Amino acid sequence: MSGLITRSGNHRVRKINDFEFRIEKEESKHMNVPVTIYANDSIISKMTTDRTIDQAVNVSTLPGVQKHIVVLPDGHEGYGFPVGGVAATDLEEGVISPGGVGYDINCGVRLIRTSLTEKEIRMHLKDIVDELFRHIPVGIGSEGAFRLTRSEIDELLVEGVEWAIERGYGWKQDAEVCEEGGKMLGADPKSVSDIARKRGSPQLGSLGSGNHFLEIQKIDKIFDEEAAKAMGLTHEGQATILIHCGSRGFGHQVCSDYLRVSEIALRKYDIKLADRELACVPNNSAEGENYRKAMYSALNFAWSNRQMITHWTRTAFEKIFKRSEQELDMKLVYDVAHNIAKVERHNTDGEGMQDLVVHRKGATRALPAGIEQIPWKYRNIGQPVIIPGSMGTASWILLGNKRSLDLSFGSTAHGAGRIMSRSAAKRTHTADEVKRSLESKGIYIKALTKEGIVEETPNAYKDVDAVVDVSHSLGIATKVVRLTPIGVIKG
């Protein structure tokens, strides 16, 4: 029922319709714009149990924010900004905030299709999962197959995914189906600290830990046959691989470095904050430009990292199934970032386009058909959107829709969204229990530690199907394919 008012702390949350809630702009709270929350009744009730809504209101007080702050259905408490949030600031008058991108810059996902069926995978399931685990380093501090020199890492930071492909780690067409072509123009290694280089140089081609994973999946159901066919997803039971990781210690250090820079600069620019974790600098300041160049470098590192993992994945499949990568049809479907800030043009007031810095923190770009930022392959249908679920639950492929431009700055959710802390998961579950539950569903998991299994129990996350239903019902990104896991490797 629309018009109902609920409270979250000191905030009045008004229900607009079944999937939209609003906190109106209040000058007494120094809000510059309202907050819009896309959810259903169950999801928003979960958001009120942590600081998600408080944080969104705090973000609305930042200088130069435009139209509204968006909280997507996977929204939950983060560092300063809620995860599952979008905030757009005016390029000339607004700010850029490292916390609005997060520590894992360009944490993102990529989907690889195959010509294999679920039956073929299951015949070799343990072998292929074990081989992937041998090929792809996982865990905190994990290191890749080689250590980059300073000149190599600086080249990679500028060239992005092209750096890996030119050295034989992938196919030319891989870059054609990455967001931004896997290369963010404007990256500048001179804006990156030596500490960041030191942390990143041994980690290229590694998954890391936390909620990062590689999954072998099958198509469970096709909802949009035309869009699925354009992506090479043609039938139920077809096997795919989903890779979820980011910029590792490199991106973490870039964020840490520029949070300190931003905190120091607050007094210089006379910026008052509702929360110190919102530390920011003017977009057009020297500090803002330097952060952007360093953040773009981390974006390129992450795309290269996922490219290297793609190469090792193809190699493992080739070995176990004794067919070439081409015979296995292991083409990249799409790669999308979900921790990023970019300059984009949007219509915020109905009177024309405006240059904005769009912060997506735990949010996925979801552009409709006809937009030039979409690869040629998909421009006539819309941008593929990849939403990974939690370990043991479904993942989804959606399609960007025109309503996203009106409702969410061309964005949708990035995953299920966490509802249970890692410490709470360890208090209430055991690794053996989680593993048995996965095995009962026919899912084989290989993990570095038992802790890594229990912390990522599916019970720690929202229902990804419900999150996707909100996006689909709003029309910001609509259902194409539902995927379910067969085998998983984790840190």
Just list the catalytic residues.
Answer: 414
Rounded Cα–Cα distance for residues 41 and 47 (Å): 10
Phi-psi region of 461 (alpha: psi -120 to 50; beta: other; left: phi over 0): beta
Rounded Cα–Cα distance for residues 239 and 317 (Å): 12
Tell me how many degrees the CA angle 141-298-384 measures, rounded to the nearest 5: 105
Pick from 327, 296, 430, 348: which is nearest to 116 by CA?
327
Task: Please name the residues in contact with 387: beta carbons below 8 A apart, sequence gap of 6 or more.
Answer: 364, 395, 396, 397, 398, 412, 413, 414, 415, 464, 467, 468, 471
